[in-house]
Structure 1
Amino acid sequence: MLKIGITGGIGSGKTTVCRLFELLGVPVYYADVRAKMLMQTDEELIAGVTKAFGEEVYAGQTLNRALLGSIVFNNAGLLDVLNGLVHPAVFRDFDRWALQQKGPYVLKEAAILFESGSAKDCAYTILVKSPPELRIARVMSRDGISREDVMKRIDKQMSDEMKEKLASFVIMNDEMHLVIPQVLALHDRFTDLALTTHDIT
């Protein structure tokens, strides 16, 4: 099974691009969504989080996200501890999930694909790229927040320039280039690669 990573900064439209791949029958693993689920269901992860942050972060079987967030929000060291627990759990879950999928290749969508090390498990990576002003306008409209708040979120992420140096392919989602032909071209390429390269797992 060929594994392809896909990422993009906030407001880049990576989820929209993933939906297009899904319409083509490509299974997509949404890392952020799965991570939230795993923090409620993965016993190894729950044990690790409880040990690191205290039993009070779980009320019964339910994670107290507000409490955990308040603990790690302004403490980079504790955030690293949390990520060090969550990321391996997501890696394990993705590997299990990929084995259950049918088709020549799968996509792993992750906002921090490169930062988390997820890209290492992928044969190729895609960056969905949009101009900064367009990204800002999209997020302001979508989330109903100020430009300043959007900029704070963007500033916390790896820059597109750095991601582009690491990515295998780039999809331009700038309302000037048509996105569907770009997706179709990559779909054809990955399908051919998966069928001709049997030793990639």
Structure 2
Amino acid sequence: MSAPVIVGLTGSIGMGKSTVARMFRDEGVPVFDADAEVHRLQGPGGKVVAAIEARFPGTTGAGGVDRGRLAAAVLGDDAAMKALERIVHPAVGVERAAFLAAHADADLVVFDVPLLFETGGDRAVDAVVVVSANAEVQRARTLCRPGMSAEKFDAILARQMPDANKRARADFVVATDTTIEETRAQVRGVVACLRAREAR
């Protein structure tokens, strides 16, 4: 049996990527959520907690990594961010390989990765789906999040490839500044197209 088609799912903050990932799951497609994996690895007893504490003292506790303190230590500091990525990315890679092994009999799998292009992860997938919405919708959604400020939003955006560039490099674009039903129809279309391509 051939290996699954690997779909990279990405999109900038506030674009609705988590909603689209759930829609892929609803279509029976296994989804590896890189952000959720990072939360688990950084949670209580997580595999990267000790290494993060060693590099960024005072950013962890009994509950694992204190994400607020860690964000304050790395946001806007490229060297610190790269040091954090050197700790986290290999650990996520191990979990991603285990996910692939567990779903080796699937026809499609999705890697949900916020910084897919920024980390070069697009080179490891067979197709890329970019989730997109207009800038006003994106900003309004993001600023509604607990603990979010305009300054933090701008700092996060500065680390992400512009939406227009992502859309230009995508195999498929799923718009979320529309109704849920229309977005779901787009996801179903992507799944049908990829399955038809695989069946050839």
Normalised-by-shorter TM-score class: 0.7 to 0.9
The reply to whether residue 189 of structure 1 matches residue 193 of structure 2 is yes
- Give the Å deviation of 1:147: 5.5
- Aligned residue pairs total 194
The reply to whether residue 38 of structure 1 matches residue 38 of structure 2 is no
For residues 52 and 150 of structure 2, the distance between their equivalents in structure 1, rounded to whole angstroms, comes to: 34
Q: Calculate percent identity across the aligned residue pairs.
A: 27
The one-letter code matched in structure 2 to 1:12 is M
Unaligned runs of 5+ in 1: 197-201
Contact 1:136-1:151 at 8 Å conserved across structures = no
Residues 122 and 11 of structure 1: is their aligned pair in 2 closer, same or farther, counting only changes over 3 Å? same
Query: Equivalent residue for 1:70?
Result: 72
For residues 175 and 182 of structure 1, the distance between their equivalents in structure 2, rounded to whole angstroms, comes to: 11
Paired residues for 1:141-180 under 5 Å: 141-143=144-146, 150-175=153-178, 178-180=182-184
- Give the Å deviation of 1:67: 4.0
- Give the Å deviation of 1:14: 1.3
Query: Equivalent residue for 1:199?
Result: none
Residues 117 and 39 of structure 1: is their aligned pair in 2 closer, same or farther, counting only changes over 3 Å? farther
- Give the Å deviation of 1:84: 1.9
Residues 94 and 65 of structure 1: is their aligned pair in 2 closer, same or farther, counting only changes over 3 Å? same
- Give the Å deviation of 1:164: 1.7
Contact 1:91-1:118 at 8 Å conserved across structures = no
Contact 2:46-2:64 at 8 Å conserved across structures = no
Unaligned runs of 5+ in 2: none
Query: Equivalent residue for 1:6?
Result: 9
Contact 1:130-1:173 at 8 Å conserved across structures = yes
The reply to whether residue 29 of structure 1 matches residue 20 of structure 2 is no
For residues 13 and 142 of structure 1, the distance between their equivalents in structure 2, rounded to whole angstroms, comes to: 13
Q: So what's the TM-score if we normalise by structure 2?
A: 0.81
Residues 124 and 9 of structure 1: is their aligned pair in 2 closer, same or farther, counting only changes over 3 Å? same
